[in-house]
Amino acid sequence: MLKLIVMKEGKTVQLTDKSLFDRKIKRVIISEDEIHKKIAEYGSKLSNEYEGKPLLLVSILKGAFVFLSDLTREIKIPCEVGFMAAKSYFDSTCSSGDVQIVYDLAQDISNYHVVVVEDIIDTGRTLLTIADMLKARNPLSLKILTLLDKPERRVVDLSADYSLFTIPDYYIIGYGLDFGEYYRNLPYIAEYDPE
């Protein structure tokens, strides 16, 4: 039975057909090689900037898990990793504007330099909510590193301290980013074809 990535009667249905999966990949925006070169560059920057300092990388799940994994291997100094999860998309290509923290850090961050590792900054609502929450916990410092930045979509006053790629307003998938939980496994970043 062929199942599509669509909402039917309020339910998400599964995608099981490889040819349909492939047809939804409109085009590659950033290649696997380009991603890895930039991650190596920023891993080196973070290693230099935080050498001798207690560093905590905070990944925003689920989208940033692939990015964090590769970035962590490029950081050559001691560091710790923590996870948070927020939700704002709810099986759609548009942010709902409603940000829900669904998983929070367990550790006290007041003795760490915190770098929030995000997959994409779109409207900025989700990350602003998380950044404000973390600032209230008094880390030694707080910076934001994003794989992808879509500044033309921003609706709040938020900028990343580090941004690997700035992209136009495409709905993108791959390298941890999804549509309806699919496409996270692509090794590159592509534009999703909603047609």
Residues carrying an active site annotation = 122
Candidates 154, 157, 130, 165; CA nearest to 144 is: 130
As given in the structure block, the two tokens for residue 25 are 């990949």
- Residue type (1 letter), 8: K
- What is 52-80 written as a DSSP string? TS-EEEEEEETTTHHHHHHHHHH--S--E
Beta strands in the chain (DSSP E): 7-8, 11-12, 25-30, 55-61, 80-87, 100-103, 113-121, 141-149, 162-166, 172-173, 189-192
Question: Can you give the C-alpha Rg of the chain in angstroms?
Answer: 17
- The CA distance from 94 to 165, in Å, is 20
- The CA distance from 166 to 6, in Å, is 28
SS3 at position 81: strand
Residue at token pair 């040819």:
19
